[in-house]
Chains A and B, each alone.
Chain A
Amino acid sequence: AQSVTQPDIHITVSEGASLELRCNYSYGATPYLFWYVQSPGQGLQLLLKYFSGDTLVQGIKGFEAEFKRSQSSFNLRKPSVHWSDAAEYFCAVGPLNTDKLIFGTGTRLQVFP
């Protein structure tokens, strides 16, 4: 069965530091891959998505993600974190034969000044 794993439940970084959030998926073929962000008390917002082509994907708010087929990973990165990036981040996969997304359990990011 398809699955998404986000190994880090909670990450704390200092403002200005770099960030990498991990995501691994289990699927027979390369699925569509997504990162969403959820600010407290709000719904999810799409940061970026990958379907094919260039394995480095740029998103909103200065985020990027790199697809690595050999590692079945789609890690999210940001070179310099801002206090406003504190939120919960969800990786999701969209299997090719369906319209629905499968979400990971999320990583809560805390940013210290």
Chain B
Amino acid sequence: DAGVIQSPRHEVTEMGQEVTLRCKPISGHNSLFWYRQTMMRGLELLIYFNNNVPIDDSGMPEDRFSAKMPNASFSTLKIQPSEPRDSAVYFCASSLGQITDTQYFGPGTRLTVL
């Protein structure tokens, strides 16, 4: 099993540019989670999907952030326009769908906004 795949692994962009992060969950998993990790705020859940439907987006910081899951094997997290304070490591995780199921994390995307 390839595990959760995220791309790109590193992204450096300038303030004001659009950034798109991509995630391919483990095949057969029904839930997908987007997290952000920073030194100041730790690991925060941004949004999660179940069966491709957004269930809880209360962690999305503001309207500049959006996430989609057009099918069971692909999700995107978009930031438009990006700001320096968005610099962080963004993780995608997937699970079978119950809280008791293990969440499997991808390697993360390190985003730097200059």
Contact = CB atoms under 8 A, between A and B. Distances in A.
Q: Do A and B share a complex? A: yes
Interface of A: 32, 41-46, 49, 51, 90, 94, 96, 98-106
Contact of A99 (B42, B43, B55): B55
Interface SS of chain A: loop
A43 B31 CA distance: 17
Contact of A98 (B56, B97, B104, B106): B56
Nearest to B107: A43
Contacts of A41: 107
A106 B38 CA distance: 12
B80 interface: no
B102 A105 contact: no
B87 to A, nearest CB: 16
8 contacts: A43-B107, A44-B91, A44-B103, A94-B100, A96-B99, A102-B45, A103-B42, A103-B43
A32 B43 contact: no
Contact of A101 (B4, B45, B104): B45
B93 A99 contact: no
Contacts of A44: 43, 91, 93, 103, 105
A32 B42 contact: no
B42 A46 contact: no
A14 B52 CA distance: 46
Nearest to B6: A43
Interface string B84-104: 000000010100011110111
B112 to A, nearest CB: 15
What are the 7 tightest A-B residue pairs by CB atom distance, in nearest-first order? Answer: A43-B105, A103-B43, A44-B105, A94-B99, A105-B42, A46-B102, A99-B99
Nearest to B45: A100
Given A100-B33, A105-B42, A106-B43, A46 B103 contact: yes
B66 to A, nearest CB: 19
B97 A49 contact: no
Given A99-B48, A100-B56, 17 more contacts: A32-B99, A32-B100, A42-B108, A43-B4, A43-B91, A43-B106, A44-B43, A44-B91, A44-B93, A46-B103, A46-B104, A90-B43, A98-B99, A99-B55, A99-B97, A103-B42, A106-B42
